């Protein structure tokens, strides 16, 4: 159960969206119910589809928008034609394109990235991500 979602004082954009969608199924009661995975897939799929329709930006128009992009589960940043998620990087705070930059227009080297975030990053994964980011930047 997500305690942040059940907090009545929380007025975040994501919570308001989920509240609106969950209301169709009875509201927060869904989060306190005893549903198995099979029974939740349809409801969650519908909610995520609507969220994507509301939230998705299909193009990058500025450098500030580019560096603010989420690295994970981003349909604009793809490896092998799939959005990516590196759990260890996420847990260490590497969340946006700007976290891979060295303060200038350049990306951190693999060694600098590993040292800055105490990561054990796979060189192939790092190179794939940089390649995806450079492809995206070239569309701006």
Report which listed range, 2-16, 18-32, 93-107, 112-126, is most confident: 112-126
Domain count, the chain: 2
Query: Is the pTM of the predicted complex or chain greater than 0.85?
Result: no
The domain in which residue 89 lies consists of: 63-137
- Residues 19, 48, single domain; the answer is yes
Confidence of residue 110 (pLDDT cuts 50, 70, 90): very high
How far apart, in whole angstroms, are the C-alpha atoms of residue 76 and residue 53?
Answer: 15
Q: Are 125 and 87 within 8 A, CB to CB?
A: no
Q: What pLDDT score was predicted for residue 54?
A: 74
Domain match, 125 and 68 both: yes
Comparing C-alpha atoms, which of 4, 132, 113, 139 is closest to residue 70? 132
Q: Judge if 67 and 51 occupy the same domain.
A: no
Q: Are residues 40 and 72 in the same domain?
A: no
Q: Quick one: 29 and 94 in the same domain?
A: no
Does 46 share its domain with 96? no
* Same domain? 67 vs 132: yes
């Amino acid at each position: 159960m997500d305690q942040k979602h059940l907090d009545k004082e929380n007025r975040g954009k994501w919570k308001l969206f989920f509240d609106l969608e969950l209301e169709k199924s009875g509201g927060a009661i869904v989060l306190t119910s005893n549903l198995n995975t099979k029974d939740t897939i349809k409801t969650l799929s519908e909610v995520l589809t609507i969220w994507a329709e509301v939230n998705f930006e299909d193009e990058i128009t500025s450098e500030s928008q580019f560096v603010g992009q989420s690295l994970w589960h981003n349909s604009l940043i793809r490896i092998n034609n799939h959005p990516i998620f590196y759990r260890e990087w996420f847990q260490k705070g590497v969340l946006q394109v700007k976290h891979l930059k060295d303060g200038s227009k350049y990306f951190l080297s693999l060694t600098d990235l590993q040292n800055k975030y105490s990561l054990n990053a796979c060189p192939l994964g790092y190179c794939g991500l940089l390649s995806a980011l450079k492809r995206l930047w070239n569309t701006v």
